[in-house]
Amino acid sequence: MDPGMISRVLLLRHQLRGRERWTRARLQAHQETELAVLRSFASAHSPFYQRFHLGLQGAPLSELPVLTKATLMDNFDELSTDPAVRLVALQTYLETLHGDDLFAGQYWVSATSGSSGRKSIIPSTAHEWAMVIASYGRANEWAGIKSGLTHKVGIAVVSSTTAWHQSSRVAATVHSPFFASERLDAAAPLPDIVARLNDLQPDVLIAYASMIRILAEEQLARRLRIAPRAVNSSSEVLTAEANAMATRAWQVPPFNVYAATETGGIAAECGHHRGMHLFEDLVIPEVVDDQYRPVPPGEPGDRLLVTVLSSRTVPLIRYEMTDRVRMATQKCPCGMPFRLLASIEGRTEDAIVLSTPDGGTIRIHPIVFHRVLDLIDAAGWQVRQQQDALIILIASPGKDFDPATTEHHVMTALTAAGAFPPPVRTTTVDMIPSGAAGKRPFVVAAPPKTASAS
């Protein structure tokens, strides 16, 4: 890591540790101050926000308009606060990105995979990028991942190796004498991943939640033989079943981390495993329904709005993330001032739309499938929606797997949820197929129907 970046990150980590001992009142005062600075900066330097927040200078955060990904990307050049940061130039730069090269010599640029539709592209100054790295450092420390001059920590990250993916960019930036980090492509053949991990024998395993489950299955089958001191799960929903399987496999409960390209770290578990503490000193979260109305703790929302307090190049104020999350109703005994996320239940886009008996439609959330398919003795599952059927992929099922019984249980669950289910067919596969970034979503909804050409 560049010495200047090391200094920035170490200073920020020191500051973040101090905030973890704040009172709730001090945290809220910090949010109010930082939010006022962010809004003032955006209004002064972004032509988009000058229009978007026109007449709302004194309005509370909850009354400001919501910034969607589509609005962000459609207005990118005017939303950017640096005239040198323009969308076409960023896209050209990403097409040829290698290693840790900077855009215009001063911006780290990451992009989403576009698995939920359109990509978003986020450029970061040195301070913004150091904050992203520090937010991940906080999650790692809470998971017990610590290093020093006398002990280098070996970390294996099974994720995307695409150069513009944020995790790849972080890895390319973070070169430290305290860590030996190896990246493995989550989309690579499973035997290759297992063999490489057996060679590495990492102290810490970090992977997508779907990959955590797959690797836990390999460990329990004794093909994978590693003994990590800590396991971090990120980027996808970590189900209770996958959590339990990972705990059996490695004798340590996995730590759940919630992050996004647009924000860096958003939340992470502490050692009490009572839920994920929101990084409320870095991000102001709002759990809302489909109409952007606040959702009380204990109830799942349809969207999460985030205001990233350190964002300056591309200010993100009430930015919409289509994640279904549920706030906890209880506090964590650790005493930190940050509220808890009880669960992340997937993205709104992961829901599939089915017909109802009365001719209407209903959205079926993946939780309906989890209740049935998580019980199967298999290395994983995926529901793929076609226009006239649901295809359920079951990876390497046990000898007692009965396709007809599974299909019946899924049909029953869909009927109980209020749907008129289409035909359900199961197919066994060696491994659940991955997307471009190596993720293996539980549900792949059918693309919307397009009008026929006349």
* 3-class SS string, the chain: CCHHHHHHHHHHHHHHHHHCCCCHHHHHHHHHHHHHHHHHHHHHHCHHHHHHCCCCCCCCHHHCCCECHHHHHHCHHHHCCCCCCCHHHHHHHHHCCCCCCCECCCEEEEECCCCCCCCCEEEECHHHHHHHHHHHHHHHHHCCCCCECCECEEEEEEECCCCCCHHHHHHHHCCCCCEEEEEEECCCCHHHHHHHHHHHCCCEEEEEHHHHHHHHHHHHCCCCCCCCCEEEEECCCCCHHHHHHHHHHHCCCCEEEEEECCCEEEEEECCCCCCEEECCCCEEEEEECCCCCECCCCCECCEEEEEECCCCCCCCCCEEECEEEEECCCCCCCCCCCCEEEEEEEEHHHCEEEECCCCCEEEECCHHHHHHHCCCCCCEEEEEECCCCEEEEEECCCCCCCHHHHHHHHHHHHHHCCCCCCCEEEEEECCCCCCCCCCCCCEECCCCCCCCCC
Query: Parallel, antiparallel, or unpaired for β 153-159 and 204-208?
Result: parallel
Confidence of residue 40 (pLDDT cuts 50, 70, 90): very high
At residue 398, the pLDDT reads: 82
User: Which residue is associated with the tokens 């978007």?
Assistant: 52
Look at residue 451 in the predicted model and tell me its pLDDT. 43
To 10 degrees, the CA torsion angle through 287, 289, 292, 297?
A: -30
Least confident of 111-115, 249-253, 301-305: 111-115
**pLDDT at residue 360, as a whole number:** 86
- Tell me, what amino acid is at 444? V
| Across 228-246, average pLDDT | 84
- For the chain, give the mean pLDDT: 87
Q: pLDDT at position 149, please?
A: 47
User: Could you give the percent of the chain with pLDDT greater than 70?
Assistant: 88
Q: If pLDDT is split at 50, 70 and 90, which confidence band does 235 have? A: low
Give the C-alpha separation, 452 to 97, whole Å: 39
Over the stretch 397-445, which tens digit does the pLDDT of each residue have?
888 899 999 999 999 989 988 889 899 999 999 888 866 555 677 788 8
| Confidence at residue 435, expressed as pLDDT on a 0 to 100 scale | 63
CA 434 to mean position of chain CA atoms: 16
The lowest-confidence range among 23-27, 63-67, 113-117, 397-401 is 113-117
Residue 37 has pLDDT above 60, yes or no: yes
Mean per-residue pLDDT, 162-174: 70
Burial class of residue 117 in the structure, from the number of CB atoms within 10 Å of its CB (0-12 exposed, 13-18 middle, 19+ buried): exposed
User: Looking at this protein, which amino acid is placed at residue 429?
Assistant: V
Q: Examine the pLDDT at 311 and tell me if it is beyond 50.
A: yes
Whether residue 348 is predicted with pLDDT greater than 60 in this model: the reply is no
Axis-axis angle for helices 240-250, 209-220 (nearest 10): 40
Give the confidence band of 454 by pLDDT, cuts at 50, 70, 90. very low
Q: Are 68 and 79 in contact (CB under 8 A)?
A: no
pLDDT at 453 over 60: no
Which tokens in the block code for residue 434?
């991955």
Q: Which of 234-238, 253-257, 313-317 has the lowest mean pLDDT?
A: 234-238
pLDDT digits (tens, 9 = 90+) for 367-399: 678 778 877 877 778 899 988 899 999 988 888
What average pLDDT does range 254-264 have in this prediction? 91
Whether the Cβ atoms of residue 184 and residue 193 lie closer than 8 Å to each other: yes
- Considering only residues 448 and 433, tell me which one the structure prediction assigns the higher pLDDT: 433
How much of the chain, in percent, has pLDDT values that exceed 90? 54
- Model confidence pLDDT, tens digit, residues 272-292: 999 999 999 999 999 999 899
How deeply is 102 buried, as exposed, middle or buried, from its count of CB atoms within 10 A (0-12, 13-18, 19+)?
Answer: middle
Count of CB atoms situated within 10 Å of the CB of 317: 24
Q: What domains can you pick out in the chain, each with its CATH number?
A: 3-347 (3.40.50.12780), 351-444 (3.30.300)
Residue predicted with more confidence, 196 or 451: 196
Q: What is the pLDDT of residue 282?
A: 98
pLDDT > 60? residue 87: yes
Predicted local distance difference test score (pLDDT) of residue 452: 41
Instruction: Tell me how crowded residue 247 is: count the other CB atoms within 10 A of its CB.
Output: 14
- Looking at residue 267, what is its pLDDT? 95
* Interacting residues of 269 by C-beta distance below 8 A, sequence separation 6+: 142, 143, 255, 256, 257, 275, 276, 277
Q: Is the pLDDT of residue 111 over 90?
A: no
How far lies 377's CA from each of 169, 191, 374, 392, 394, in Å? 36, 20, 8, 14, 9
- What would the mean pLDDT of 102-130 be, rounded to a whole number? 84
CA–CA gap between residue 292 and residue 64 (Å, rounded): 11
The closest alpha carbon to 278, from 338, 346, 325, belongs to 338
Task: Choose the weakest-confidence range: 248-257, 293-302, 367-376.
Answer: 367-376
- Cα separation, 244 vs 248, in Å, equals 6
More confident site: 419 or 49? 49
Q: Are 139 and 288 in contact (CB under 8 A)?
A: no
Pick from 134, 142, 206: nearest CA to 173: 134
Residue 201 has pLDDT above 80, yes or no: yes
pLDDT score, position 209:
81
